[in-house]
């Protein structure tokens, strides 16, 4: 081949390579352009979103009047006159604490104190408009470069943080704080802001404000403090614990001298003043004198005032969107008028009862919590612990402690919603037999049956009223399983205001017999039982009617509370009669709570291994709940104290009361039912009958006279071992200690007598799957 031909060939090959490179380059370029475009557009979107978010916060402000910070008015509690709720409220108690805080006016704070704070905390305070943008930019740069938490807060921003108590460490909080500061400085002067700051920020060792700090550290008023002393106080604010001179004098001295150098460098003090102050700093002593305004002898409140205080605090936090500390400060110093809902008679009776050394016999370690209320949400009385109360704002076993409720939950979680659903009535037959797959013992073998009744025996089909009166666990589990755990869970949470339920409580059916993940409070349980005597309504419990500020404006109000219709009025009346049987019935578990001459309804409850014992019940004047047990759960040797203590308090309260009776829904009527079928009795054929209560618009069918047995045949129904002899002690009750599952359906009142009869035998476990109690069962109940 000729040379020229070879050159042409080679050139052609290079051209193809170059073309390929150019193609790859174009593809890469397009890819980079695409990526850049996506990033650019994404950046624009993010920027717009960020700007929109920031602008949405531009009206952020604190809903609090700074001028109120200087008030130190005493707050008062008012109650209605004894035995006369219509009487004009009278002053009951004042509220004050031993908090070390004294307000001092701006013109009485020495200039050296103002200068010291400004020099060390915010040297451009007098120039900026609430935010020092230079410091803020530096702080943000530090955040991203070093990853440390950013500072840069001005005195205005620090004041906002102290007033609101918002300590959240986030950019969102910082942005909010910036706008709040800008808006605050439009509303108040620099002098007002600085005065507020100097009077509320903490200065270590429990002192708030410069006057309290001067009293504590130097035994003098702030206006008498010299430059060195003011610098010592100012240096504490950055870290009140680290720089408290009573705890860390050397560290305070180091910080104090930094403050003095800043004051000197910023021209606030002369060379001579600086040298004098530095010399004094080397030999400064601190007296640790208590501020003169501290009241050592703070009265001990009763348990009701403790609960009232916490309820008012919560209300103020929600109303003002402020911190717990700020709300407490308002209660002590803002001159509030708190109109308490307490019934002083019942409160005194309950407190006296709980202070008695004979309350639980010789058992001095056993504890209890008690709460009573009327049927419209008003908390009448509460006691959070037995024994002498020796301090304020203590942990209450009535309102704070969460305990397993045992069988007291059955009317709330099972029978109430079941009857309200229309699937059950007063005498519907319940299959008192265990459910399969009740719990696992951890082995690979078959799961066990349950729950167990106290006697370990089961009744088969029985009327609902018998099951509730005797507190049979298997019956409650069957009904709970039929209406579904989900319905029970939502009913407690949405209708009765239970706040302590966890999602796990909705996975199985333990709530049917009282086994909950965390437990419930006496307050929640008592509030739930309101609906059985007020037409089915739930009212959120309250301890105050209303709270007024110092100027007489109502800021919190419970007087026009809207009720939740938890169950129908007819269901309420039917359940009331059922729960009355628990107290008055021959086999009722709550017979110990009966009060001569008064109608009482209620429910007992005992948990697994008898570690918790309850009684929740009502009279025409009040519904009350009591829990008894040990602070650290342990076996109770006596589970009757709850009912008897409840009775003692309520009987004393009712002693001189006008006799009242409960009212019932006019649509609820009485009728005889057949105890074998649960249907309305056939006068011609039925002999084993009792009185039941029904919605007249939804009456059961009349028994057809063909029975699968008689009431006397209960003694031959299968027990847990499949034999035919059920001893008479079955009839004496049945709170037990197991948790339910969800694998079986309970029969409803629509089942035929024949099917009911056969279900008792067919649903009962055989000898290879006995339905007896087990040591492996999980918490619940009775």
Q: What is the DSSP letter of 76?
A: E
- For 350-380, write each residue's pLDDT tens digit: 999 999 998 998 888 999 999 999 999 999 9
417: pLDDT strictly greater than 70? yes
- The region, left, alpha or beta by phi > 0 then psi within -120 to 50, assigned to residue 709 is left
What pLDDT is stored for residue 94 in this prediction?
A: 87
Is residue 81 within 8 A of residue 195, CB to CB? The reply is no
**Percent residues over pLDDT 90 in the chain:** 56
Average pLDDT over residues 332-355: 95
Integer-rounded Cα Rg, in Å, for the chain is 36
Average pLDDT over residues 67-92: 77
43: pLDDT strictly greater than 90? no
**Percent residues over pLDDT 70 in the chain:** 76
Is residue 553 within 8 A of residue 697, CB to CB? The reply is no
What pLDDT is stored for residue 44 in this prediction?
A: 77
Task: Show the DSSP H helices in 737-781 as ranges.
Answer: 753-762
- For 246-289, write each residue's pLDDT tens digit: 999 999 999 999 999 999 999 999 999 999 999 999 999 998 75
574: pLDDT strictly greater than 80? yes
Taken in order 574, 575, 576, 580, the sign of the CA dihedral is positive
Instruction: State the virtual CA torsion across 681, 683, 687, 689 in degrees, nearest 10.
Output: 30
Is residue 371 within 8 A of residue 577, CB to CB? The reply is no
Closest CA to 228 of 197, 263, 198, 202: 263
Spatial separation of the C-alpha atoms in residues 41 and 38, rounded to whole Å:
5
What pLDDT is stored for residue 590 in this prediction?
A: 96
Q: How many residues in total does the chain contain?
A: 782
- For 595-613, write each residue's pLDDT tens digit: 999 999 999 999 878 999 9
What pLDDT is stored for residue 731 in this prediction?
A: 29
777: pLDDT strictly greater than 60? no
Q: Which residue matches tokens 């719990």?
A: 439
Average pLDDT in the chain? 81
- For 458-479, write each residue's pLDDT tens digit: 999 999 999 999 999 999 999 9
Q: Which of the four pLDDT bands, split at 50, 70 and 90, describes residue 708?
A: very low
Give the CA distances from residue 606 to residues 529, 629, 637, 738, 739, in Å, rounded to whole numbers and listed in that order.
17, 10, 12, 11, 13
426: pLDDT strictly greater than 50? yes
Residue 718: both structure tokens together: 């299968």
Q: Where are the domains of the chain?
A: 100-282
More reliable by pLDDT, 165 or 142: 165
What pLDDT is stored for residue 677 in this prediction?
A: 95
More reliable by pLDDT, 394 or 157: 394
- For 496-515, write each residue's pLDDT tens digit: 999 888 776 655 556 788 87
778: pLDDT strictly greater than 90? no
More reliable by pLDDT, 691 or 149: 691
Q: What is the DSSP letter of 608?
A: G
What pLDDT is stored for residue 176 in this prediction?
A: 74
What pLDDT is stored for residue 490 in this prediction?
A: 92
More reliable by pLDDT, 69 or 337: 337
What pLDDT is stored for residue 54 in this prediction?
A: 55
DSSP β-bridge partners for residue 694: 669
What pLDDT is stored for residue 513 in this prediction?
A: 83
Average pLDDT over residues 312-323: 93
What pLDDT is stored for residue 450 in this prediction?
A: 83
539: pLDDT strictly greater than 80? yes
Top-confidence range, 41-45, 150-154, 451-455, 750-754: 451-455
More reliable by pLDDT, 223 or 88: 223
DSSP β-bridge partners for residue 75: 95
Q: Which of the four pLDDT bands, split at 50, 70 and 90, describes residue 343?
A: very high
Give the CA distances from residue 439 to residues 451, 720, 778, in Å, rounded to whole numbers and listed in that order.
9, 17, 8
Q: Which of the four pLDDT bands, split at 50, 70 and 90, describes residue 135?
A: confident
441: pLDDT strictly greater than 70? no
Reduce the DSSP state of residue 54 to 3 states and report it: helix
Q: Which fold has domain 100-282?
A: Penicillin binding protein transpeptidase fold (1.10.3810)
More reliable by pLDDT, 561 or 765: 561
Looking at 84-98, 99-113, 284-298, which range is the least confident one?
Answer: 284-298
């Amino acid at each position: 081949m000729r040379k020229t031909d070879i050159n042409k060939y080679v050139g052609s090959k290079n051209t193809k390579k170059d073309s390929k490179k150019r193609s790859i380059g174009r593809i890469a370029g397009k890819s980079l352009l695409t990526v850049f475009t996506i990033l650019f557009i994404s950046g624009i979107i993010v920027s717009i979103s960020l700007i929109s978010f920031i602008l949405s916060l531009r009206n952020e402000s604190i809903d609090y009047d700074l001028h109120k910070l200087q008030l130190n008015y005493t707050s008062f509690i008012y109650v209605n006159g004894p035995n006369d709720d219509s009487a004009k409220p009278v002053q009951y108690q004042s509220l004050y604490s031993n908090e070390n805080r004294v307000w001092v006016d701006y013109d009485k704070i020495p200039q050296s104190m103002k200068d010291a704070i400004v020099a060390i905390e915010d040297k451009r305070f007098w120039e900026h408009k609430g935010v020092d943008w230079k410091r803020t930019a530096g702080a943000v740069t530090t955040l991203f470069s070093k990853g440390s938490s950013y500072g840069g807060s001005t005195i205005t921003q620090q004041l906002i943080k102290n007033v609101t108590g918002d300590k959240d460490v986030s950019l969102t909080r910082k942005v909010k704080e910036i706008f709040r500061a800008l808006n605050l400085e439009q509303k108040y002067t620099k002098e007002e802001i600085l005065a507020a700051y100097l009077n509320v920020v903490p200065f270590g060792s429990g002192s708030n404000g410069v006057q309290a700090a001067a009293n504590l550290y130097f035994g003098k008023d702030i206006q008498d403090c010299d430059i060195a002393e003011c610098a010592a106080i100012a240096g504490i604010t950055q870290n009140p614990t680290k720089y408290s001179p009573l705890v860390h004098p050397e560290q305070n001295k180091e910080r104090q001298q930094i403050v003095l150098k800043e004051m000197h460098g910023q021209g606030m003090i002369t060379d001579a003043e600086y040298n004098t102050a530095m010399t004094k700093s080397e030999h400064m002593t601190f007296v640790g004198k208590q501020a003169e305004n501290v009241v050592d002898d703070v009265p001990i409140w009763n348990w009701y005032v403790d609960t009232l205080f916490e309820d008012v605090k919560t209300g103020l936090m929600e109303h003002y969107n402020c911190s717990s500390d700020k709300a407490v400060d308002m209660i002590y110093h803002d001159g509030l008028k708190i109109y308490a809902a307490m019934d002083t008679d019942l409160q005194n009776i309950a407190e006296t009862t709980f202070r008695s050394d004979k309350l639980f016999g010789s058992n001095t370690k056993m504890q209890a919590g008690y709460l009573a209320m009327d049927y419209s949400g008003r908390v009448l009385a509460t006691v959070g612990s037995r024994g002498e109360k020796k301090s304020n704002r203590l942990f209450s076993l009535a309102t704070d402690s969460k305990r397993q409720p045992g069988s007291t939950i059955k009317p709330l979680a099972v029978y109430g919603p079941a009857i309200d659903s229309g699937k059950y009535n007063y005498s519907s037959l319940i299959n008192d037999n265990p459910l399969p797959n009740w719990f696992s013992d951890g082995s690979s073998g078959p799961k066990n049956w349950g729950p167990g009744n106290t006697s370990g025996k089961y009744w088969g089909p029985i009327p609902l009223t018998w099951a509730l009166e005797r507190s049979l666990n298997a019956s409650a589990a069957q009904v709970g399983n039929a209406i579904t755990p989900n319905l029970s869970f939502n009913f407690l949470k949405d209708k009765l205001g239970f706040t302590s339920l966890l999602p796990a409580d909705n996975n199985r059916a333990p709530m049917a017999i009282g086994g909950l993940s965390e437990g419930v409070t006496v307050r929640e349980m008592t509030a739930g039982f309101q609906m059985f005597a007020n037409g089915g309504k739930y009212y959120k419990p309250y301890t105050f009617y209303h709270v007024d500020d110092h100027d007489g404006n109502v800021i919190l109000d419970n007087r026009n509370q809207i009720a939740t219709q938890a169950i129908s009025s007819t269901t309420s009346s039917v359940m009331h009669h059922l729960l009355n049987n628990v107290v008055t019935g021959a086999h009722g578990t709550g017979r110990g709570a009966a009060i001569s001459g008064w109608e009482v309804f209620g429910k007992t409850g005992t948990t697994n291994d008898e570690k918790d014992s309850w009684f929740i019940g009502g009279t025409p004047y009040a519904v009350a709940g009591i829990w008894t047990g040990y602070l650290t759960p342990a076996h109770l040797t006596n589970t009757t104290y709850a009912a008897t203590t409840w009775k003692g308090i309520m009987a004393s309260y009712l002693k001189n009361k006008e006799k009242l009776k409960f009212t019932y829904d006019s649509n609820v009527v009485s009728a005889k039912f057949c105890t074998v079928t649960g249907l309305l009795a056939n006068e011609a054929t039925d002999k084993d009958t009792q009185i039941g209560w029904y919605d007249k618009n939804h009456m059961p069918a009349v028994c057809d006279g063909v029975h699968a047995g008689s009431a006397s045949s209960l003694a031959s129904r299968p027990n847990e071992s499949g034999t035919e002899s059920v001893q008479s002690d079955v009839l004496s009750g049945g709170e037990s200690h197991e948790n339910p599952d969800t694998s079986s359906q309970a029969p409803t009142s629509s089942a035929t007598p024949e099917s009911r009869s056969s279900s008792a035998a067919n649903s009962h476990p055989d000898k290879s799957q006995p339905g007896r109690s087990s040591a492996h069962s999980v918490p619940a109940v009775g």
